[in-house]
Amino acid sequence: MRQSPVLPILQIVHRPGILDLSWGHPDPAVLPVAALRRATATVLERYGAEALTYGAERGPGPLIEWICTRLAHTDARAPEPTDVVITAGASQALDLLCTLCTTPGDTVLVESPTYHLAVRILRDHPLELVAIPADANGINIDMLETLLAQLARCGKRARMLYCVPTHHNPTGSCMSLERRRALATVAAEHGVLLVEDDVYRELSYDAPAPPSVWSIAPPGTVARIGSFSKSLAPGLRLGYLTSDALLTQRLIGSGLLDSGGGLNPFVALTVAEVCASGDFDATVAHLCATYRERRDALAGGLRDHLPPGCRFTVPGGGFFQWVELPEGIDAGALLPHAEQAGVAYLPGSRFYLNEPRHNTLRLAFSLYPPHQLIEAARRLGEAITAVA
C-alpha cells in the first residue's frame, strides 16, 4: 500500500512558542466565511450553470461594473469597463504582464526595498532587474531620471517599473502626491510601463488612500494591480488590473484567457455577489477597525520596548511595520536571538535587489491580536537589547 503522509492545506507553518510576525497573512478570525457561504449559494442559485462554464475573457460583467463604481469612490478616477481585466490574484496579474508585455532581456526597474515575492515573479521571466532607491516618500525621481538617461546611453530602455506606492510592502510608506505626479510624467516620457501594485488601497486606517498613479497618469502609462486577497480573502485568488483599452485588449486576446474563458470566473461571480450584497463594505470596515487597532498596539509596544536607536514610522495602512535597528545591528544575525526570545520577523535584506540595509526588518501586524503584538514587541526589544 502506498504511504499516505498527511499533506498540508495551508501555506503557513506555525512554530510553537514563536510569535511569527514574518507572515503577511490575515488573521483567520477576520476572514468573511459567512459572507462567502451566502454568496456561493446565491450565485449558484441565480446563475446556475452559467456560474460554472467558460466566462468572458475580461471577467464577469457584474464584477467589472462594481470595480468601476468602487474606484470612483476610493480613487481619483474611475476606469471604464474596457480598462479592466479580472485576474487570478495580483501575483498572477504581474506574471501575465511579464509574459505579455516584455521581451527577453528587457530591463525592468524595481524600487528598492520592495515586495520580495514580486521580485521572485519577475525573476522567473527572462528580464534584467535594476534597483531604484526609494525613501519614505517613495521612489527617488531624480535618481530614476539619471538611471533612465544612463540606460539610454547604453542603447537600452526600461520596459517596465514595478512599485507599491500605497501602504508599501515592506516599508508601509505612501508615495507623496508630488512624487506620484512626477513618476507618471517621467514614465510617460520614457515609455516605461508602470506596474502599480495597489493591493492595500482598501486597508487605509487614518485617511483615504492617495490617488493611484494610474488615476493621474496619461492612459497607457500604468497597469494598476488590485486584489481581493487583502480586502476579502487570499484563498479566493482574485484580483484585477486597470490600464487602458489597448493593454487590456492584449491581455484578453492572450491564449491563456481565451483558452480558459477568463481567469477565475466562478470565484469572480461569487465576489461580485459579496460586493453587491453589502458584505464587501462590511468586511472592509471590520478589517480596517481590526488592523488599525493592531497597528496601534504594535506601535505602542515598539515605543515601549525597543531600545534607544531603533526607529520606525507608523504606517497609514496595509499589513506591515518597518523597523530600523541601530546601525551595526544586522537583522539577519539578530533573528536566531529573537526566535530564542519567542518572536520572528523577516530581515529587511530580503526586500532589496542589491545593497541591502542590514539593520532593517519587517513586522506584519495582520495575524495576531493586540496583546500578542505587544508581547512580540517586548520580546523583540529584549533580543535587540541582548545583542546591542
Q: Which residues, including other chains, have CB under 8 Å from residue 351's CB and lie 6 or more apart?
A: 112, 113, 114, 115, 116, 170, 360, 362
Applying CB under 8 A, which part among 57-65, 143-151, 153-161, 291-299 lies near a second copy?
A: 57-65
- CB distance 224 to 212 below 8 Å: yes
Interface residue with a second copy, options 15, 17, 33, 208 (CB under 8 A): 33
Q: Which residues, including other chains, have CB under 8 Å from residue 307's CB and lie 6 or more apart?
A: 326, 381, 384, 385, 388
**Residue 29 near a second copy by CB under 8 A:** yes
Backbone angles phi, psi at 134, to 5 degrees: -130, 150
Output the CA–CA distances (angstroms, integers) from residue 257 to 85, 229, 239, 248, in the order listed: 10, 21, 14, 11
- Residues found in the chain: 388
Q: With H, G, I as helix, E, B as strand and everything else as coil, classify residue 168.
A: coil
Applying CB under 8 A, which part among 46-54, 216-224, 316-324, 325-333 lies near a second copy?
A: 46-54
75 versus 324: smaller Cβ distance to a second copy:
75
Interface residue with a second copy, options 97, 141, 195, 263 (CB under 8 A): 263
CB of 163 to a second copy, least distance (A): 16
- CB distance 222 to 213 below 8 Å: yes
**Residue 342 near a second copy by CB under 8 A:** no
Which string of x and - marks every residue 175-214 that binds a second copy (by CB under 8 A)?
Answer: ----------------------------------------
Residues between 80 and 139 that touch a second copy (CB under 8 A) = 80-81, 88-89, 91-92, 95, 99-100, 103-105, 117-126
The two beta strands, 158-163 and 107-112, are parallel
Interface residue with a second copy, options 15, 17, 28, 289 (CB under 8 A): 28
**Residue 1 near a second copy by CB under 8 A:** no
What residues form DSSP beta bridges with 324? 311, 360
63 versus 373: smaller Cβ distance to a second copy:
63
Distance, in Å, from the CA atom of 47 to the CA atom of 25, rounded to the nearest integer, reads 32
**Residue 9 near a second copy by CB under 8 A:** yes
Interface residue with a second copy, options 18, 76, 78, 245 (CB under 8 A): 78
- CB distance 238 to 88 below 8 Å: yes
CB of 199 to a second copy, least distance (A): 11
CB of 6 to a second copy, least distance (A): 7
| 274: its cell numbers | 459579496
Which string of x and - marks every residue 213-242 that binds a second copy (by CB under 8 A)?
Answer: -------------------xxxxxx-----
**Residue 318 near a second copy by CB under 8 A:** no
